[in-house]
Structure 1
Amino acid sequence: MKGFVSSRLHPVVNLLLLVVIMFAAFCVAGFLIGVLGNVFYGVGIFALGNVTQNPAAHPNGWAISMMSQGLLLFVGFGGAALALVSLMGYRWADYFTPRRPVSWLWLLAAATVVLASIPFMSGLVEWNAKAHFPAFLQDLEAQARELETRAQVLTKFLTHFNTTARFLVGVLVIAVVPAISEELVFRGIIQRNLVQWFGSRHVGVWLAAAIFSAIHFQFFGFVPRFVLGLILGYLYEWSGNILVPMAAHFTQNAFQLALLYVQQREWTTSTFDPDSTESLPWPWMGASLLLTGYLLYFLHQRWQAERVAAPTEMHVLSSSGVAVARPQAALPAGHTLGGTGIVEAKPTEPRARN
């Protein structure tokens, strides 16, 4: 399928196009939020900002904030990523999941890796939360901590699930939508283009993880989110399917929401604070680090094995975009893999022996 823009643009141009499209998508999302807020809650577009900044002061503040957050992520991030791929003439499945289908083992392992890393991550959370700026940046540190305190207050309000319906909405907005939208942008577009730009998987994964963490604007949570970005990035590189990091991302968010909901319903006597910066006991963190490392090593070895195995479905880049070639057990005699798929090889004259 021929796109409106060339599929062979430099990765830097692709990234700049993504920024432009995201800006337009956020404008569309803002318009939708304004219309829906006015229709369903009687809140004008100019009053929405006050409601989302202090939702506790408005009778429909929780619903409006959830709607705003969901639409901004879904349209502004996910919609922009899908729009860019369509403009380049690719099918979404060909671009984001060049290796499909993946084994269920990849999805299960991705979720397990994230769960296994939680105790170790708690140590990074505590260390990062106690970090300090240099002396000459003390004012900036005070402002950063104040912003994060406000974000924590908002998070506690939005994650107060006094009904099952609220919990399900929370899972949709805080777990499902970010897992889809953020992975399409950060792994599917940004990481892919960074890998192509620098010609290195590792550089692309690490830079994309840094951007992923920085864009959340939480300095005192930068390191653990950066490490999570690394895990998600390598899961995408090794699996070749965007569904794998999506599964991991969803598990990370949904697990914390589930723990919080169980506590709020008083189904357990344990307490869980999503904003807590206290680390778990060091034996747990050590075991978590070892288990996470082993699981990542296992997936890396599986990726290496699948790279050398005979493919069941191949994607080749032709003049018309990404083409799918499904070979039989072996290439037919006298055929080879060319730029447009499987083509007949021209015979060559045998060399004369000296």
Structure 2
Amino acid sequence: MNSLKHNNPQIIYKNPWTSIFYLVLLFLAWNLISQLIGSGLAVLVSGVNIFESQEILQPPFGPESKLFMYVAQGVSHFLGFTLFGLFFIKKMDKQEFKDYFHSKKLSLNSALIIVLMTFSFMMFNSIIIEWNMNIEFPEFMKAFEEWARATEDQLMELTELLSNYDSFGEMLIALLIIGVLPAIGEELVFRGLLQNKLESATKNAHLAIWISAIIFGAFHMQFYGVVPRIMLGALFGYIYVFSRNIWYPIIAHFVNNGLAVILMYVGPRFIDDFDAQEVDSSVPVYISLSALFACLIFFRYFKQQMNKAAQE
């Protein structure tokens, strides 16, 4: 059986392009409202004046900046992705959650392979991250380069703020906001909904995977990190296509985000000269290429397991 051509829950649509149009339109509107709600709750919880909410997100950061970001990001992401994805599946597509969440078919052995595969891919992706971070543009694109660098620097400062944990409990909160919520919500939207609909519309799973991955990378609005995110999105997409079980890309997504959170907590406590900005690019090239080879082996084994499970 060819795993690329079976059990797509979106295959029932006679005109999937119409469904994609409604998905994108409603997603944008829903996310705008979710961000407003998240920011409103963050203002209430942090006690910051609503007119000062943008100022506290500029350096130098204070304790109220971190609290504001945790609440705003956590609430807006849960509402804008997880709740939206579940709503669209149930109310707009009128489908059952079991078409995406096959919990009874979730294998511990396969989940472990996903963990190892993702970790291997992360080590390989380090050379892509380093290359993307050092892209230089021609002179006529100087204005774009300056804007992209300024945006990247600001986002890096906010990321560093959220990655500086004062306690184990705060690390667990960050693990929820940075690891769990994006893993569930983004996979529901980008793989469960968008990728499935694109596959149904184009009749080409590979095209659907890469279009979804490109949108996934661009959505994060970090040009100097867009290519590694596209690569990750493609990995999650292939994991989903060969399993048709959204839990597997969710696990992979969580491993990628969660390991970063844990490393940011453990690193400064056990490594004297720990530099968070050097983590992604600290893997030697030969190790990165070896990790890619290992990733391909794990992926091949995972495909075999999924094909075997589909025939049972």
Q: Fold-level match, TM-score > 0.5?
A: yes
Match of 2:98 in 1: 93
1:228 maps to amino acid: L
Count of paired positions: 300
Which of 78, 86, 92 is residue 82 of structure 2 equivalent to? Answer: 78
Partners of 1:22 and 1:80 within 8 A in 2: yes
> Cα distance, 1:276 vs. partner?
5.0
State the SS of the aligned residue for 1:60: helix
Q: Deviations over 1:91-121 (max 9, x none)?
A: 2222x23685222222211111111122211
1:133 maps to amino acid: F
Partners of 2:199 and 2:207 within 8 A in 1: yes
Match of 1:20 in 2: 25
State the SS of the aligned residue for 2:182: helix
Match of 1:11 in 2: 16
Partners of 2:48 and 2:64 within 8 A in 1: no
> Cα distance, 1:210 vs. partner?
0.8
Structure 1 residues 35, 99: closer, same or farther in 2, change over 3 A? closer
CA distance in 1, matches of 2:75, 2:278: 24
Question: RMSD across aligned C-alpha pairs, in angstroms?
Answer: 2.2
Partners of 1:115 and 1:251 within 8 A in 2: yes
Q: Deviations over 1:28-70 (max 9, x none)?
A: 424533543344333344443333x327545411111111111
Structure 1 residues 57, 254: closer, same or farther in 2, change over 3 A? closer
1:176 maps to amino acid: V
2:301 maps to amino acid: F
Matched ranges for 1:45-124 at <5 A? 45-51=50-56, 53-54=57-58, 56-87=60-91, 88-94=93-99, 96-97=100-101, 100-124=104-128
CA distance in 2, matches of 1:110, 1:124: 21
* 2:179 pairs with 1:182: no
CA distance in 1, matches of 2:259, 2:236: 16
Q: Deviations over 1:204-248 (max 9, x none)?
A: 111111111111112221221111111100111111110100001
Q: Deviations over 1:126-167 (max 9, x none)?
A: 111122223321211121011101111111111110112211
* 2:34 pairs with 1:29: yes
Consecutive unaligned residues in structure 1, runs of 5 or more: 1-6, 311-354
Structure 1 residues 74, 55: closer, same or farther in 2, change over 3 A? farther
CA distance in 2, matches of 1:89, 1:55: 46
CA distance in 1, matches of 2:207, 2:129: 24
* 2:287 pairs with 1:291: no
TM-score, normalised by the number of residues in structure 1: 0.78
1:224 maps to amino acid: P
Partners of 2:195 and 2:208 within 8 A in 1: yes
2:245 maps to amino acid: N
Partners of 1:259 and 1:272 within 8 A in 2: no
CA distance in 2, matches of 1:8, 1:280: 45
CA distance in 2, matches of 1:49, 1:30: 13
Greater radius of gyration (CA): 1
CA distance in 2, matches of 1:21, 1:100: 31
Matched ranges for 1:313-352 at <5 A? none
Q: Deviations over 1:309-351 (max 9, x none)?
A: 23xxxxxxxxxxxxxxxxxxxxxxxxxxxxxxxxxxxxxxxxx
Structure number with higher helix proportion? 2
Partners of 1:195 and 1:204 within 8 A in 2: yes
Which of 226, 229, 237 is residue 241 of structure 2 equivalent to? Answer: 237
CA distance in 2, matches of 1:180, 1:83: 14
State the SS of the aligned residue for 1:271: coil
Matched ranges for 1:121-270 at <5 A? 121-264=125-268, 266-269=269-272
Structure 1 residues 100, 20: closer, same or farther in 2, change over 3 A? farther
1:271 maps to amino acid: F
1:245 maps to amino acid: P
Q: Deviations over 1:223-275 (max 9, x none)?
A: 211111111001111111101000011011111111111123x2344624146
Consecutive unaligned residues in structure 2, runs of 5 or more: 1-11
CA distance in 1, matches of 2:145, 2:102: 43
CA distance in 2, matches of 1:34, 1:281: 41
Partners of 1:260 and 1:274 within 8 A in 2: no
Moved more, 282-291 or 196-205: 282-291
Match of 2:283 in 1: 280
* 2:38 pairs with 1:41: no
TM-score, normalised by the number of residues in structure 2: 0.88
2:47 maps to amino acid: G
Greater relative contact order structure (CA < 8 Å, 6+ sep) = 2
1:124 maps to amino acid: I
Partners of 1:11 and 1:194 within 8 A in 2: yes
State the SS of the aligned residue for 2:95: coil
